[in-house]
Amino acid sequence: MKSSEILYYAVHPQELRAIVQWMVWHNPVHERNPEKESETLKQCFYYLDFTSRSFAAVIKELNPELLVPICVFYLVLRGLDTIEDDMSIQLSEKEPLLRNFDQSIEKEGWNYDGNGSREKDRELLVHFECVVAEFRNLKPVYREIIKDIAKKMGDGMADYCNNAEHNIHGVNSIKDYQLYCHYVAGLVGEGLTRLFVESKLANPALLERPELHESMGQFLQQINIIRDIKEDLDDKRRFWPKEVWSKYVDKFEDLCKPENKEIAMHCSSEMCAIALENVTDCLFYLAGIKDQSVFNFAAIPQAMAVATVELCFRNPDMFQRNVKITKGQACQLMMESTQNLQVLCDTFKRYVRKIHKKNDPRDPSFLKISIACGKIEQFIESIFPTQKPKEITGKPVLDEKAKAEKDEAYWDGIYMAAAAGGALLFVTFFMFFIAWMAGARFDLAFSSMKDTLFPSGKGSGQLTNPEHKEL
């Protein structure tokens, strides 16, 4: 722990409490059993820890039925990502790698060592044969789903790499931006949903409304893109759509200039407003999950995302440095998103209210944010109503019986208080009596107490005014 962190938690004890509580009380729904795992699976979990900070923990607590499929799915996607991100790979080599990735994962012993040495997840692809081995052991239905998503995502990524326009100018319209998020996150949502439904851990109706899992992915990805603006810009990547930022600045880089502080916040508000439109769908989606471990897996990132919106919204710091929610906040959020939908909804509502409180009428997206917050509150009210139509009809009338009961309760209260007081008094007297019998001198105790409480005139003059003597 850094000294700055110690200082932070000293003044935020409730966050420290959340960390302690999470560490002490969190019981995983399921735990993996490393003793029964094959060598290649152990390796897979090693690379899961190695490549993912946030997802590794929740994946490892998944229902045994989905533990390995989702771990493999994650590593496959991570593999694709590692190829796409690496600017040192030539396009002519990269494109077929991406497009054929769904076939590569079926070839026993397949791996890839063409990543640049600076690529942080290089090791995963160098030893990818362990993932392939585990992939080949999966049930055919799960294999089919993972393969299908790998194909769609690989093609989507290859299209973006090929698109020179995209590489130079970044994302153009809001629609393009959402399409990009679809390829990198919406497809993950689709794959996961199919896995959940196939394993009977989620309601099959989730597949009939694809816009719901699309929103799950869109929300997470859009929030990452908003939060990482500074980091991405330093790496010369631009994911914010020109359709949005061009309303505020002429050049994308200008968003980070100190003189544009206010304008940049307006721009990020519009991005937040667009992202918040997905939230009601996300909550609806989570209502369709039947298994606790799957719920936790899906809900935790969503809760983190809504807290991140609150952190970024009208926060000029995000244009100067990388902003992150604190560990204490994260633990609090994990506790609240590993229970049930109602607890999670309360969390969402709390953050929505915080966003609403930060909203500024001078911001061009003021009304949009207000509407987005109102919609989320209305949705939560619709699934967990605090009012029912019956309650509103007529006021309760006290009939004779109820009145008698109320009277009785009143007298019961009086008797109880009298009995308790009497018992206390009796015990007090009894103790004094025992003490007196044992030789206690209450007379001396009383007079010394009197002296300390009400000192006599003589003594007090000397004690309180020593200066007078000298004068």
Partner 1 sequence: MQSAERIKSLGHVVITGGCGFLGHHLVQHIQQYHPKTQISVLDLRTLHNNFSSESTKYFDADITDLNSLRDLFEELKPDVVIHTASPHLDAPRAVLQKVNIEGTENLLKCAAEVGTKAFVYTSSASVVMEGGDLKNVDERWPVITGKDQPEFYAHTKGIAEQTVLRANRSKEHPQFLTCAIRPAGIFGEGDVQVIPGILGALKRGQYKAQLGSNDNLFDFTYVGNIAYAHLLAAGALLSTHAILPSIPLDMERVDGEAYFITNDTPVYFWDFARAVWKAAGASDAMLDPKKVWVLHADFAMFIGNAMEWVYWGLRKGAPSLTWQKAKFSTINRYHNVGKAKKRLGYDPIVDLEEGIKRGVQSVLEREGWKMGPGGVVEVKKKQ
Decide: is 382 part of the binding site for partner 1 (CB under 8 A): yes
Which C-beta is closer to partner 1: that of 70 or that of 376? 376
Decide: is 378 part of the binding site for partner 1 (CB under 8 A): yes
Decide: is 244 part of the binding site for partner 1 (CB under 8 A): no
- Which two tokens mark 436? 């007196």
Q: What angle do CA 388, 303, 352 make, to 5 degrees?
A: 55
Decide: is 207 part of the binding site for partner 1 (CB under 8 A): no
d(CA 412, CA 417): 9
The stretch among 263-271, 305-313, 329-337, 374-382 that binds partner 1 (CB under 8 A) is: 374-382
Do 334 and 237 contact (CB within 8 A), yes or no?
Answer: no
Which C-beta is closer to partner 1: that of 122 or that of 356? 356
In the list 386, 401, 466, 469, the residue contacting partner 1 (rule: CB under 8 A) is: 386
Q: Least distance in Å: CB of 393 to partner 1?
A: 5
Closest CA to 359 of 347, 373, 376, 345: 373
Is 248 considered catalytic here? no
Return the number of other C-beta atoms located less than 10 Å from residue 317's C-beta: 11
Q: Residues for the chain: how many in total?
A: 471
Decide: is 367 part of the binding site for partner 1 (CB under 8 A): yes
Decide: is 396 part of the binding site for partner 1 (CB under 8 A): no
Is 122 considered catalytic here? no
Decide: is 397 part of the binding site for partner 1 (CB under 8 A): no
**Annotated catalytic residue, options 99, 136, 237, 353:** 237
**Annotated catalytic residue, options 47, 177, 180, 319:** 180
Is 297 considered catalytic here? yes
Do 56 and 140 contact (CB within 8 A), yes or no?
Answer: no
Which C-beta is closer to partner 1: that of 181 or that of 373? 373
Report long-range pairs for 143-149 (Cβ below 8 Å, ≥24 apart).
145/191, 145/194, 145/195, 145/198, 146/69, 146/72, 146/73, 146/76, 146/105, 146/191, 147/102, 147/105, 147/106, 148/102, 148/191, 149/73, 149/77, 149/187, 149/188, 149/190, 149/191
Decide: is 422 part of the binding site for partner 1 (CB under 8 A): no
Decide: is 3 part of the binding site for partner 1 (CB under 8 A): no
Q: Least distance in Å: CB of 396 to partner 1?
A: 13
Binding-residue total with partner 1 (CB under 8 A): 26
Binding track over 303-342 against partner 1, x by CB under 8 A: ----------------------------------------
Decide: is 371 part of the binding site for partner 1 (CB under 8 A): yes
202 beta partners = 289
Describe the crossing of helices 292-312 and 279-286 by its angle, rounded to 10 degrees: 160
Closest CA to 89 of 119, 131, 110: 119
Closest CA to 76 of 65, 84, 86: 84
289 beta partners = 202
- Which two tokens mark 95? 């494109």
Q: Least distance in Å: CB of 241 to partner 1?
A: 20
Binding track over 347-366 against partner 1, x by CB under 8 A: ------x--x--xxxx---x
In the list 393, 415, 444, 467, the residue contacting partner 1 (rule: CB under 8 A) is: 393
Do 406 and 398 contact (CB within 8 A), yes or no?
Answer: yes
In the list 34, 140, 385, 466, the residue contacting partner 1 (rule: CB under 8 A) is: 385
Is 118 considered catalytic here? no
Q: What is the DSSP letter of 184?
A: I
Residues that bind partner 1 (CB under 8 A): 353, 356, 359-362, 366-368, 370-371, 373-375, 377-378, 381-382, 385-387, 389, 392-395
Q: Which residues are catalytic?
A: 180, 227, 237, 297
